[in-house]
């Protein structure tokens, strides 16, 4: 199954010239959702992943399902100010400014192997911030997986340049 067929493209959202890749149509399609989760899980069966970290918000849906299938815990990576307990924060660059993501200080433990999941990688800012958070807590990143890669924006290559294992289930050219 080509998962690109289950992903809606919305032109000029959130601004002119951007082709927004909307996975809500994939999430609503039982077969496509099952295929996506199975494909995200498969490379990590039997490799000793201890936790899955899902990046807000669609990474929560996907990451929770992957964690369930791998029989491991789930750790949310959230936007600044959304977690109720002590957190570790990591800033990252946006096109016009800076944003932050956070994790609870006890979300992952030193020595754990953590698989990071999100729906899409573009420039890689959020994913790189999640990597820094996890490593800052003393854990190791087992891999970083996405449903969609936008290779023209270079985020996946930035992760590979760090020596990280990466997967994307499909790619779309352009932005």
As annotated, the active-site residues are: 58, 95
> What is the three-class DSSP state of 29?
coil
Beta strands across the sheet bearing 87-94: 87-94, 97-104, 73-79, 51-55, 113-121, 140-149, 166-171
Helix axes 58-70, 30-41, angle to 10 degrees: 60
Q: How far is it, in rounded angstroms, from Cα 66 to Cα 55?
A: 13
From the CB of residue 114, how many other CB atoms can be counted at a distance below 10 Å?
A: 27
Q: What's the Rg (C-alpha) of the chain? A: 15
Please answer whether residues 122 and 147 qualify as being in contact, where contact means their C-beta atoms are separated by less than 8 angstroms: no
Q: How far is it, in rounded angstroms, from Cα 25 to Cα 5?
A: 10
Q: How far is it, in rounded angstroms, from Cα 59 to Cα 12?
A: 23
């Amino acid at each position: 199954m080509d998962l690109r067929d289950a992903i809606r493209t919305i032109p000029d959202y959130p601004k002119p010239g951007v082709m927004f890749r909307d996975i809500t149509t994939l999430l609503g399609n039982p077969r496509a959702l099952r295929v996506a989760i199975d494909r995200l899980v498969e490379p990590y069966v039997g490799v000793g992943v201890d936790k899955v970290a899902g990046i807000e918000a669609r990474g929560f849906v996907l990451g929770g399902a992957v964690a369930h299938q791998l029989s491991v815990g789930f750790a949310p990576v959230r936007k600044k100010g959304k977690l109720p307990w002590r957190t570790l924060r990591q800033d990252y660059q946006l096109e016009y400014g800076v944003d932050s993501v956070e994790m609870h200080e006890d979300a992952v433990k030193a020595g754990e192997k953590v698989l990071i999941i999100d729906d899409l990688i573009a420039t890689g800012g959020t994913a790189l911030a999640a990597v820094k958070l996890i490593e800052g807590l003393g854990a190791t990143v087992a891999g970083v997986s996405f449903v969609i890669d936008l290779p023209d924006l270079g985020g996946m290559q930035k992760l590979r340049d760090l020596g990280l294992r990466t997967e994307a289930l499909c790619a779309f050219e352009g932005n």
